[in-house]
Amino acid sequence: MNSINTDKFSAKLREKAIDTDRKAILITNFYGSSQENDFTKPPNCNGFGRVRHFRLDAGKDWIPNPLPILPAAKALGVKADSVIRAQVFQSSICNWRCWYCFVDFKLLSGNSNYASLLTCDEMIDLYLDQDDPPPMLDLTGGQPDLTPEWVPWMMKTLQERGLEDKVFLWSDDNLSNDYLWRFLDDEQISLMSSYKMYSRVCCFKGIDEKSFSLNTKADPKLFSNQLELCKRLLEINLDLYCYITLVATTDTDFHMVIPKFIDKVQKVNEMLPLRILPLRIFKYSTMNPRMTSDFENMIEGQHRALDVWQSELVKRFSSEQISLPITEIKLKN
Ligand code: SF4
């Protein structure tokens, strides 16, 4: 299987998805997309947004998912509930093609039939033009960090509108590129580090090179690059959380592979495993045309992997540490 040339593909996608003069990002419009079939409520913001309900409960065979509920509640100064509403804007590009992605692949290629260039001012106008706007903005993808300007531009807009203490900002990152350091200046990075109501979630796309490349279609070597990028994000002091997708074939030696991965994570930061949340992969209708027997098998594999992941945490951390809320795990040295 030919893997994606991540560098080349990233550069090509970025070109389509940003207008630096206008400070605009190519945002997905959900009308008429197959992703729309998976929504419980119709898109909002003239099709450019949707309201997503993040829930703590990830189903009976999985652990609860406190992201982004706990970071949002902490930043907003409210008691955490079991669900939070978020206004989502979705970048129209991604440089990887995960089989389990709930986004229709047509919405990841910067296709102007399904997307338009919007400034952050235009996004905020659309966001505010609704009854009861959600307390949180989710800049998602796709891979938002192919256009890393999006986050500091949004922060500036929120500041200009007097919303920086009222709206929690959350963004996703698939840990695939160093564009943040290539395209942002020191002032923008410093704004991100000091902005009070912002947290970022990164996603590790597998537990070893094999599962990573099966999951993303990227070069297996980029598996360890994910850890390097995570380390660099910690060095600029972002309030950082991580997901990991544990989907892997059931013949994986989970008892060997998972401790090895957690060893590497602890080299980045000893406490980091407690900020990593195993993300359950569910089947969405957008995935149907991509499903194979291997992928069915990998969905089964994630449950075996979760058992090993949890027992590994018990070996490495005290019960007090494990029971701390994810927001209280200190990563700074
Ligand atoms: S990295 Fe994220 S957005 Fe991109 S294909 Fe994978 S799951 Fe989808």
How many C-beta atoms surround the C-beta of residue 76 within 10 A?
17
Q: Whose CA is nearest to atom 8 of ligand 1?
A: 101
Instruction: Name the average pLDDT for the chain.
Output: 96
Distance CA 199, CA 290 (A): 32
Check: CB of residue 246 under 8 Å from CB of residue 305: yes
Distance CA 58, CA 292 (A): 24
Q: Which of 139, 103, 98, 119 is nearest to 26 (CA)?
A: 119
pLDDT tens by residue, 222-260:
999 999 999 999 999 999 999 999 999 999 999 999 999
pTM attached to this predicted model: 0.96
Strand partners, 116: 27
CATH class given for the domain over 6-328:
alpha beta
pLDDT band at 332 (very low <50, low <70, confident <90, very high): low
* Ligand 1 mutation target, pool 34, 174, 214, most atoms within 8 A of CB: 174
Residue list, ligand 1 pocket, CB within 6 Å: 94, 96-98, 101, 103, 141-143, 174
The answer to whether residue 209 scores a pLDDT higher than 70 is yes
pLDDT tens by residue, 152-185:
999 999 999 999 999 999 999 999 999 999 999 9
Average pLDDT of the segment spanning 21-39: 90
The predicted pLDDT at position 41 comes to 84
The predicted pLDDT at position 1 comes to 67
The predicted pLDDT at position 38 comes to 76
* Ligand 1 mutation target, pool 90, 103, 284, most atoms within 8 A of CB: 103
pLDDT tens by residue, 37-84:
778 889 999 999 999 999 999 999 999 999 999 999 999 999 999 999
pLDDT band at 333 (very low <50, low <70, confident <90, very high): low
